[in-house]
Amino acid sequence: MAPQDRIAQVSSHLNYPQGLLAGQVAIITGAGQGVGAEAARLFANEGAKVIVADLDAQKAEGVVKAINDAAPGRAIAVVGDVTDPAYPKKVVEKAAEFGNGKIHIIVNNAGYTWDGVIHKMSDKQWNTMLAVHATAPFRLVQAAAPYFRVKDGVQRVVVNISSTSGIHGNPGQANYAAGKAAMVGLSKTIAKEWGPQFGVRANTIAFGFVQTRLTAAKEAGAFITTPEGEKIALGIPTGQLSKKSGDGEKEQYPDIPLRRPASPTEAARSILGVVSPLFSYVNGQTIMVTGGRNM
């Protein structure tokens, strides 16, 4: 039995009877699909009340419905654009109302890529990626400050979702890499400012190859539509994806010691682990979730 299957098998024993996040209120941005949606589901299963924040109303409501169909009253959707300066306040207000005046967890997960080589990258490409991956997380954390700077002895956690691009750089992603690198500095600063008096933990998770629309073949046609109506193609060109040492399954990912990418559920489990009490003494760290790539 594969390790990930064994985890699913025994998960019900780990959270009996209330769950690792019982009584917690969590905001997860970009939770309409992919890793964010899986994190929302896992958090709810562990007893949290979850705010599914996403630009796509249909997808966000779909995630909420699936969670609440299993057990009612565990999730709500707050739809909007993370780069809208008014949106963070809206999310925080709805979360506090849903959580009876409490917010305990923020996962800054929303993001996408808009690739281009440095000498051809437009100001709009650069500024958009910084707005999504640096400014938006900062604004949400700032808006939630009154609910995190609290001396009540209850754990509160911020997790910023970065990428190996933000740690090592990546050709064609100067804008994305800069935004993801900014999240590392933001986490460390939150840990140093809010840890001493309020016990707030802040960590970064840097993902490697996770199977999402951002890592699928670009030719598959996935795209995101910006609030201005511009369509941005997502994914990796097939020519780059096909670089492998052989045709067998184990040879497809020679630079990953585990020889495979992560599933969205596996990636989401790492987020659950970091926000849980199991990581209560881990603070200000960048946790590489890469299957061993770049170690």
| Paired sense of beta strands 223-225 and 231-233, if any | antiparallel
CB atoms within 10 A of CB 20: 19
CA dihedral of residues 38, 43, 45, 49 (deg, nearest 10): -120
Query: Is 87 considered catalytic here?
Result: no
Torsion angles phi and psi, residue 170, rounded to 5 = -160, 130
Torsion angles phi and psi, residue 132, rounded to 5 = -75, -45
- Considering 87, 112, 147, 176, which one is annotated as catalytic? 176
Q: Write the burial class of residue 69 (CB in 10 Å: 0-12 exposed, 13-18 middle, 19+ buried).
A: exposed
Comparing C-alpha atoms, which of 75, 122, 66 is closest to residue 94?
75
DSSP three-state, residue 159: strand
Distance of alpha carbon 117 from alpha carbon 94, whole angstroms? 40
Based on C-alpha coordinates, what's the Rg of the chain?
19
Q: What angle in degrees, to the nearest 10, is found between the helix axes of 136-143 and 87-98? A: 40
Query: Mind telling me the catalytic residues?
Result: 176
